[in-house]
Amino acid sequence: MAKVLELPKLSPTMEEGQISAWHKKEGDAIDIDDLLAEVETDKATMEYKSFDRGTLLKILVPPGSVVQLGQPVAIIGAPGEDISALAGGSGGAAAQKQSAAEPQPQGDRPAQPAGGGAAPSGDVPATSAPPAARGDAVSPPTQPAAPQPSSGGRVKASPYVRKLGRERGLDLSGVAGTGPGGRIVARDLDGLQPAPAAAAAPAATAPGELAAPEVRPLSMMRKAIARRLTESKQTVPHFYLSIDVDADPLNALREQINADLAATAGEGEKPAKVSFNDLLVKACAIALVRVPECNAQFTADAILVHRRVDISVAVAVPEGLVTPVVRNVDRKQVLDIAAEVRELAGRAKAKKLRPEEMANGTFSISNLGMYGIDNFGAVINPPEGAILAVGQVRREPVVRGEQIVPGRRLSMTLSCDHRVVDGAVGATFLKVLRQLLEHPTQILIG
């Protein structure tokens, strides 16, 4: 018997998802635990796997569609099974959910349902409630009305469907809509070919007019970033403490470690490497153990001082920023930290991180040194109580004794939640961190 598949909750904070890609096509056999699709959530791209066996009879939402939890996305059943009733009902429900979730353009007015009486004429606004809401008895039609192409120069489609049409280069004016009242829904665009390239030439801007901007729809990740960072700046009282440290000893230690790793690597084996950031992550872990008040978070009733040191490391990805967490950093060796950070960063860029790998950090590090940034202030990642912003290692003249000599300097700024971390506490943390970085053998034995 055919069954409608609905979008499940793939992460604890998920409220909607975007279908990134379907891994099965209509007509494919489906087994339990087969990968059906990839779904982009607010945190990562998740795998949507099947809980049933059968044949994929119908895909209800194309790639790129934003889908609410519980919204129908596909139908499975036996090969050749009649799904017209399911497909019609699921498509209508999906269209109604999509329309309710998106603002209605002022030029689009829903048409009267078939069988509900004469359609309003002229420009009379369609303000009446649906028949079910008014209590009218409406007999179901014996067969669905044939799709009608949009007419009269007005395209009946939601903003989301219009956006899909623009992205695919489609002209919606001649598309036959299968939604309520002939409205064009996302599935109506499947299989359509884009307009010829000559027709896609941009229109000339009239004198005095501003050129239209490029519209880039918000990804699920960008929406989450906007929501969380706005919440952080509006609800967390930030203050900032900066230091500038002598990075020559840290550079010398890093070069020595990497030289030893290269010398001990087997023939044809790529030697492991340690970065400034790897040493810094370990140094921060030691400093957090010595100043645990910075390894804390604020709650309405108490300050929670963590007994674990789980450091979130900011990683830039094309869609924005993710913060995979290195667990129990204080108990790990530098080489283990280096390997784990590289592995997490690689999976972050491939959108393969699991939600639990980006949650429950106790402290964050954001390093923009590789982009040539000298210093900056980072936004705290709630519910953590602090984040360290790290700039590049700078080559500049420094004073040693009575002489000016070439040297390396490193600037860092600690953003603190003043509800948790007082100025003296943050200053103490940075003092301990400076001591570790300027005497870096302590990082290896600490």
Question: Among all residues, which ones are annotated catalytic?
Answer: 418
Say if residues 101 and 87 touch (Cβ distance below 8 Å): no
State the number of CA atoms in the 13 A half-sphere of 61 facing the CB.
33
Give the closest residue to 297 by CA, choosing from 232, 375, 243, 341: 232
- In the numeric block, which tokens belong to residue 297? 């978070």
Rounded Cα distance between 350 and 288, Å, is 31
Rounded Cα distance between 386 and 266, Å, is 41
Which residue is it, tokens 């999509």? 98
Rounded Cα distance between 300 and 283, Å, is 31
Rounded Cα distance between 30 and 26, Å, is 10
CB atoms near residue 377 (< 10 Å): 15
- Residue 413 forms beta bridges with which residues? 242, 389
Say if residues 226 and 375 touch (Cβ distance below 8 Å): no
Say if residues 385 and 296 touch (Cβ distance below 8 Å): yes
- What's CA 226's distance to the chain center, in Å? 10
